[in-house]
Amino acid sequence: MKVSLDVDCTPAEARAFLGLPDVTPIHDKYVKTVLDSIDGVTNIEQMETMMKGFAPMGDVGMKLFKQMMDIGLAGMSSKGGDKS
């Protein structure tokens, strides 16, 4: 037997339903800090250094994310492309 359940709700409603904390104030502060830091950047090298510092796990996190993207793209191309 197979049962499917579709729930139409916003991410905020889903978090509240699941009992997860509201991290909106933390997110807003993080975004404000990043945007304020970007205002002082004068070249690409500074931007790259700054973004690595803000990324989870720094440079390791950026490399891990790149590897995951490469694996996903390789998997898509081996299966014949986009099947939307």
Residue 3 CA to residue 34 CA, distance in Å, equals 43
At residue 78, the pLDDT reads 66
At residue 49, the pLDDT reads 75
At residue 73, the pLDDT reads 80
Read off the tokens for 30.
């993080």
At residue 4, the pLDDT reads 93
Each domain of the chain, given as residue ranges in start order, spans 11-78
pLDDT digits (tens, 9 = 90+) for 56-65: 666 777 787 7
At residue 80, the pLDDT reads 57
Mean pLDDT computed over 19-45: 84
Do residues 67 and 74 make contact, with C-beta atoms less than 8 angstroms apart?
no
Residue 51 CA to residue 66 CA, distance in Å, equals 14
Residue 22 CA to residue 7 CA, distance in Å, equals 20
> How confident is the prediction for the chain on average, in pLDDT?
79
Question: Alpha-carbon torsion 21, 26, 30, 32, what sign?
Answer: positive
